[in-house]
Amino acid sequence: MSRIMSRKGQLLILLSFSIGCLYLQSNLQQIPQCICGGCHKNDPWFSTRFNTSYHPLMTSNTSVVSAETFQWWKRMQNTRSGWKDYKRVVDKIFQTIPDKEMHRDAGPERCRVCSVVGNSGNLINSHYGPMIDDGDFVFRINRGPTKGFEQDVGSRTTHRVIYPESAVDMGNSTHMVFFAFKLADLKWLVSLFTTHTIKQQNKVVKITTKANMSLVMVVSPGFMKYVHHQWLNKHGRYPSTGFMTVIMAFHICDKVRVYGFGADKDGNWNHYFERIRPAYKTGIHGGTFEYVTLKELQKRNKLELYE
């Protein structure tokens, strides 16, 4: 009898050990492996702002936004258009560009390093070019050129962030990351790849742009509101494209390096490729608060900020 009980005991111990191992393995899979050194779990300041449920990019299935979000987005523009108008234009967009999820491939073995390149004059004579090009993804903001500035800003562009007024031609392997600040922007995007008829918004815009239609990605209004409320505490009328791109990088990258943000070494807000006259004001974007937030992220080792 004691021998039988002993065997039963051994089986119970073995079963308990196996269950324990499975439980441990399951929990380990839920904890980021941090192979890039980018763990965020132990930072309450970051965790209260960063929310993975807000994926930056729209599909037809995620284009529906709450009434509150739609009203926030609508306040950025001068229009009487309503929800039905928005939905009708979005439906046209996903009849034109690919209707698929992009950059949702996060996993414990991935270490995607991303360079986010702003346009500040502080990039002049920085010699950051090779480091920028070393990123797996290289995001460039609006019209920031590379030709003639390769030593300081690099030459690769995997993602070009634009809105209609800042559109430029881009290479066939470059993703267009499209920010729509108004319904007219979404209509322009449809026109760009179909009728080529829209040429006037707040100012003259290009009726056609060299871009790969299969690599176009539209940023969700819900993501824009999330950045404005959770990251910027509603500073400014709405976030800048540059700051939203940095936060987007947190959602699709594992390590984020930021270049060319803020004023130049003399305290002037200029571009590395042009002098701005009159002096640039951050105005509607709350640029000072955005920069302070970037510095806080640097302090907490969440990104690398190169000035």
Q: What is the CATH number of the domain that holds 62?
A: 3.90.1480.20
Q: What is the structure's pLDDT at 50?
A: 96
Asked if residue 11 is part of any domain, the answer here is: no
Asked if residue 270 is part of any domain, the answer here is: yes
Q: Cβ(282)–Cβ(292) under 8 Å?
A: no
Q: How many domains does the chain have?
A: 1
Q: What is the structure's pLDDT at 156?
A: 98
- Among the listed residues 258, 280, 255, 266, the one whose alpha carbon sits nearest the alpha carbon of residue 111: 255
Asked if residue 14 is part of any domain, the answer here is: no
Q: What are phi and psi of 134, to 5 degrees?
A: -75, -15
CA dist 81 and 72 (Å) reads: 13
Q: What is the structure's pLDDT at 288?
A: 86
Q: Which residues are catalytic?
A: 238, 285
Asked if residue 86 is part of any domain, the answer here is: yes
Residue by residue, pLDDT tens for the chain (307 residues) are 444 445 544 444 444 444 344 333 333 333 344 567 655 557 899 999 999 999 999 999 999 889 999 999 998 887 778 889 999 999 999 999 999 999 988 888 889 999 999 999 999 999 999 999 999 999 999 999 999 999 999 999 999 999 999 999 999 999 999 999 999 999 999 999 999 998 877 678 899 999 999 999 999 999 999 999 999 999 988 999 999 999 999 999 999 999 999 877 777 778 999 887 655 555 555 678 999 999 999 999 999 999 8
Asked if residue 291 is part of any domain, the answer here is: yes
Asked if residue 26 is part of any domain, the answer here is: no
Q: What is the structure's pLDDT at 113?
A: 96
Asked if residue 4 is part of any domain, the answer here is: no
| Cβ density class 92-130: b for 16+ within 10 Å, e for less | bbbebbeeeebbeeeeeeeebbbbbbbbbbbbbebebbe
Segments forming the whole domain that contains residue 149: 34-306
Q: What are phi and psi of 212, to 5 degrees?
A: -85, 110
What predicted TM-score, i.e. pTM, was given to this entire model? 0.85
Asked if residue 7 is part of any domain, the answer here is: no
